[in-house]
């Protein structure tokens, strides 16, 4: 079709966690600029299947930018060249005819490659299990006005809760640090009345789990926030530092 693009792809292929991986070169001759990046990969996989080759494994689920499953380090940036966009919402019109696109998995000690572009992000789930929740008795929901919440606190908590846990912050950080993710999860609860009961222990346990998973520390380069598809603010990391240091020096957990 007119306006369609020819692209060269360099894609990381790795058969399993322990296998040595490497780049494979692929050519696509008829890529519509209206395709999403993942649809372009669907086309590539159809082509590979027809050739009798193993399709490229990649994570995806909702394909509408809200589930946090898609990843891919595209031309040196997580989720590709656009700001505030997941890979599934990136369209081929952001590339030019004849481009070579390099696609790698997230790289982090805590995110081992499972296959090709799929990495194991269970480390995030374990950080959440360590304290990213509130404990409430079951029963009828309270009246909405029984817990007054300041508009600013509600807004900040909502902005932090927009984190979809995709791991782009870890992928972008030169230290593979998970602080933007963990700080968003700590913030969304620390800002609301429901989060107060477990506020100290939550900060202590989630940070301890983050460290145990082997994520790096924060150098405040701001790369995480710049690459975050949900544009989570660095203010959350400052808040997490306050929460953690405050909890460590004042809680009764020794």
Q: Which residues bind another protein (CB under 8 A)?
A: 12, 23, 73, 75-77, 81, 102, 104, 107-110, 172, 174-177, 179, 207-208, 210-211, 214-223, 226-227, 234-235, 237-242, 244-245, 248-249, 253-254
Q: Minimum distance from CB of 254 to another protein (Å)?
A: 5
The answer to whether residues 197 and 128 touch, using CB atoms and an 8 Å cutoff, is no
Q: Minimum distance from CB of 117 to another protein (Å)?
A: 13
Taking the least distance from each CB to another protein, the nearer of 79 and 91 is 79
Measured CA to CA, the distance from residue 220 to residue 183 in angstroms comes to: 13
Taking the least distance from each CB to another protein, the nearer of 40 and 240 is 240
Measured CA to CA, the distance from residue 160 to residue 150 in angstroms comes to: 15
Q: Minimum distance from CB of 3 to another protein (Å)?
A: 27
Q: Minimum distance from CB of 141 to another protein (Å)?
A: 34
Q: Minimum distance from CB of 118 to another protein (Å)?
A: 15
Question: Residue 182, by phi and psi: left (phi above 0), alpha (psi -120 to 50) or beta?
Answer: alpha
User: Looking at residue 229, what DSSP letter applies?
Assistant: T
Taking the least distance from each CB to another protein, the nearer of 59 and 104 is 104
Taking the least distance from each CB to another protein, the nearer of 172 and 192 is 172
Taking the least distance from each CB to another protein, the nearer of 185 and 239 is 239
Helix 235-250, helix 199-212: angle, nearest 10? 110
**52, burial (CB in 10 Å: exposed 0-12, middle 13-18, buried 19+):** exposed
Q: What is the DSSP string of 170-218?
A: HHHSTT-B-HHHHHHHHHHHHTSGGGSTTHHHHHHHHHHHHHHTT-B--
Taking the least distance from each CB to another protein, the nearer of 136 and 253 is 253
Q: Minimum distance from CB of 203 to another protein (Å)?
A: 9
Structure tokens at 102: 């390099």
Structure tokens at 135: 């404990």
**187, burial (CB in 10 Å: exposed 0-12, middle 13-18, buried 19+):** buried
């Amino acid at each position: 079709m007119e306006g369609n693009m020819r692209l060269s792809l360099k894609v990381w292929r790795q058969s399993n966690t322990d296998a040595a991986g490497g780049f494979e070169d692929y050519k696509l001759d008829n890529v519509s600029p209206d395709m999403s990046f993942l649809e372009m990969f669907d086309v590539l996989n159809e082509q590979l299947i027809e050739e009798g080759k193993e399709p490229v494994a990649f994570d995806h689920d909702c394909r509408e930018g809200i589930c946090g499953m898609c990843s891919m380090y595209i031309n040196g940036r997580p989720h590709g060249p656009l700001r505030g966009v997941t890979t599934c919402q990136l369209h081929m019109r952001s590339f030019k005819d004849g481009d070579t696109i390099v696609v790698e998995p997230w790289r982090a000690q805590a995110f081992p490659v499972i296959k090709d572009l799929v990495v194991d992000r269970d480390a995030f789930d374990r950080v959440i299990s360590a304290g990213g929740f509130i404990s409430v008795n079951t029963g009828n929901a309270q009246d909405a006005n029984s817990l007054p919440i300041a508009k600013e606190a509600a807004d900040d908590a909502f902005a932090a809760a927009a984190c979809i846990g995709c791991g782009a912050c870890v992928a972008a950080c030169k230290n593979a640090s998970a602080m933007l993710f963990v700080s968003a999860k700590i913030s969304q609860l620390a800002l609301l009345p429901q989060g107060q009961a477990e506020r100290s222990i939550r900060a202590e346990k989630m940070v301890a789990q983050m460290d145990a998973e082997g994520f790096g520390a924060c150098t405040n380069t701001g790369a995480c926030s710049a690459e975050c598809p949900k544009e989570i603010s660095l203010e959350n990391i400052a808040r997490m530092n306050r929460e953690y240091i405050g909890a460590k020096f004042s809680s009764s957990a020794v």
